[in-house]
Amino acid sequence: MSAMPLADLRAVVGDAHVLDDADAAAGYLTDWTGRWTGRADAVIRPRTTEEMAAVVSACAAAGIAICVQGGNTGLVGGSVPPVGGDPADRPLVLVTTTRMTDIDGVDTIGRCVGVQAGATIDAIDRRAAESGLRFPVDLASRESATAGGLVATNAGGIRMIRHGNTRSQVLGVEAVLADGRILRRWTSLVKDNVGYDLPGLLAGSEGTLAVITRVLFRLVATPGDTIVSVAAVHHVADAIGFLGSLTDRGLNIEAAEIMTEAGITLVEEYGPRRPVAARAPFYVLVETSGTGDVEAVVLEALESAPVADAVLEPGPARALWAAREQHTESIARSSATPVVKLDVSVPIRALPEALAELEAVAGMVDHPCRPILFGHIGDGNIHVNLLDVPEDRVDELTAHVFGIVAANGGSISAEHGIGRAKTAWTHLGRGEVDRAAMRAVKDAFDPAGLFNPGVLFG
Ligand code: 2HG
Ligand code: ZN
């Protein structure tokens, strides 16, 4: 192994974009939740795919591990290097796509747009809107979360119920392989069935197979008139019933979220007003679209559903969304310790039981901790957030949560991925043969294990 080729890297990206000073690099090394702070010998900021390829080539030749970072909004520690640096003791660099923000013109006939990996959701959606279209992936962190990160984690988000996950939006990718060669699958053809779906494989690979540098995304039509309603309900089953009565009436569900009284009370302390006057254990927010008088149909559905109280407003209804969207930040501000974030899913029919069991988890350890549950009810996806958990109780609580999830036929990672947080638990979600096949794919793409060591495989 040779020493860090800093001069070569500087020649590729420019002096200003190789940060080997601890203070300059610090902002890139702690993840959004504050739980993980990694160690890297330098932070590298390439501008183009070719620069990224040259950086990877130089690192590969010198046996240097490479961690990849987009908007650093991930919630499982996958966007920062390992705490002690590379587990195999090699030098390690963090490459960030922060300067790779170009967005092409929209192809209005093929309904797609090519973007660099560092383009944010918000910027891509604004470009799509110029052509009357919409980027089908949306998350509360839309102003920071980037294309590369969305694809690498196969992000879900609030529009997944309508359009599917990020993988379903990827028509093409450009990515740098572990030896520095550039893989390019770039076609707006919806029918193109030649061999393995490599873009689909890179989606959800969490930076362990290649560095995604550009993405060709599908765009969708904007939904026209939408109605956002928030209903207070006494039982999760009532929320599910309300959703059913909307779809039975022919409406499209654009988003369907659930919150609890504890969550709304906490968020209210940080600004957003209560969306509904009445108090109830649960609140369901649904954005609907359709043809004809959508508002009248939603009102009719609300009248037939067992809801305690409800409000509705034409979309985008940002004020109604605020209480839901500010859960993550309010929770982070309120917890005395880094929040334990367990993003799980269960079959929708199991939600009422599973939510009750998950709420009770806090009482299972001998230390007061506060659970706040919320999530994407239409996808059976619950974000279990445990506040004030001392570090030495994290594993115990995680085991309880995942036990409940497994008993209810659910998944230990619904939409955030595995990252560093869940590597010890993947056996709960994938069998031995399945894990061995994933390992074989990793070894084929990255035989020296240079990319994102410690992510996904532990
Ligand atoms: C959301 O749905 C995100 O807002 C974040 O997936 C979830 O903070 C969380 O636990
Ligand atoms: Zn979510």
Q: What b/e sequence results for 319-347 when a residue is b if at least 16 CB atoms lie within 10 Å of its CB, and e otherwise?
A: ebbebbbbbbebbbebbebbbbbbbbbbe
373 touches 331 (CB < 8 A): no
- pLDDT at position 188 is 87
- Preceding amide of 352 cis, omega within 30: no
Instruction: Indicate if ligand 1 lies below 6 Å from the C-beta of 326.
Output: no
Question: What CA–CA distance (Å, rounded) separates 243 from 239?
Answer: 6
Q: At what angle do helices 318-325 and 261-268 cross, to 10 degrees?
A: 100
CATH numbers and ranges of domains, the chain:
112-221 (3.30.465.10), 226-325 (3.30.70.2190), 336-416 (3.30.70.2740)
Tens-of-pLDDT digits for all 458 residues of the chain? 458 899 999 999 999 999 999 999 999 999 999 999 999 999 999 999 999 999 999 999 999 999 999 999 999 999 999 999 999 999 999 999 999 999 999 999 999 999 999 999 999 999 999 999 999 999 999 999 999 999 999 999 999 999 999 999 999 999 999 999 999 999 989 899 999 999 999 999 999 999 999 999 999 999 989 999 999 999 999 999 999 999 999 999 999 999 999 999 999 999 989 999 999 999 999 999 999 999 999 999 999 999 999 999 999 999 999 999 999 999 999 999 999 999 999 999 999 999 999 999 988 877 788 999 999 999 999 999 999 999 999 999 999 999 999 999 999 999 999 999 999 999 999 999 999 999 999 999 999 999 999 999 98
220 lines ligand 1 (CB under 6 A): no
- Tally: H helices and E strands in the chain: 15, 17
- Closest to 96 (Cα-Cα) out of 27, 4, 156, 157: 27
> How far is ligand 1, taken at its centre, from the CA of residue 383, in Å?
6
Token pair belonging to 174 = 């450009």
Cβ contact 175:202 at 8 Å: yes
C-alpha 156 to ligand 1 mean position (Å): 10
Q: Which of 150, 267, 383 to mutate to test the pocket of ligand 1 (most atoms within 8 A of CB)?
A: 383
Does any ligand 1 atom lie closer than 6 A to the CB of residue 413?
A: no
Q: How far is the CA of 325 from the centre of ligand 2 (A)?
A: 10
339: DSSP letter: P
Check pocket membership of 140 for ligand 1, CB cut-off 6 A. Answer: yes
Residue nearest atom 5 of ligand 1, based on CA coordinates: 328
- Position 248, amino acid: D
Minimum CA distance residue for ligand 1 atom 6: 157
Asked if residue 341 has its Cβ within 6 Å of ligand 1, the reply is yes
The residue written with tokens 């929209």 in the block is 106
Nearest-atom index, ligand 1, CA of 325: 4
Q: Decide if 209 contacts 452 (C-beta within 8 A).
A: no
Ligand 1 atom nearest to 343, measured from its CA: 10
Closest atom of ligand 1 to CA, residue 415: 6
Mutational pocket test of ligand 1: of 138, 142, 165, 327, the residue with most ligand atoms within 8 Å of the beta carbon: 327
Give the nearest ligand 1 atom to 257 CA. Answer: 2
- Pocket flag, ligand 1, residue 438 (CB < 6 Å): no
Q: What is the whole-number distance in angstroms between the Cα of residue 386 and the centre of ligand 1? A: 13
Ligand 2 center to residue 433 CA distance, Å?
A: 29
pLDDT for 368 equals 80
CA of residue 158 to ligand 2 center, whole Å:
7
Q: Which secondary-structure segment (H or E) carries 227?
A: strand 226-233
What lies within 8 Å, CB to CB, of 159 at 6+ separation is 136, 137, 138, 254, 255
Q: Give the Å distance between the CA of 130 and the centre of ligand 2.
A: 27
Q: What pTM does this model have?
A: 0.96
What is the whole-number distance in angstroms between the Cα of residue 375 and the centre of ligand 1? 7
Tell me the chain's radius of gyration from C-alpha atoms: 22
Using the atom order of ligand 1, give the atom closest to the CA of residue 158.
Answer: 2
Checking 195-199 for CB contacts under 8 A at 24+ apart, the result is 198/173, 199/170, 199/171, 199/172, 199/173
Q: Which residues of 363-393 are buried (b: 16+ CB within 10 A; e: fewer)?
A: eebeeebbbbbbbbbbbbbbbbbbbbbeeeb
Kindly give, in sequence order, each residue whose CB lies less than 8 Å from that of residue 293, ignoring residues fewer than 6 positions away. Answer: none
| Pocket lining: 448 vs ligand 1, CB cutoff 6 Å | no
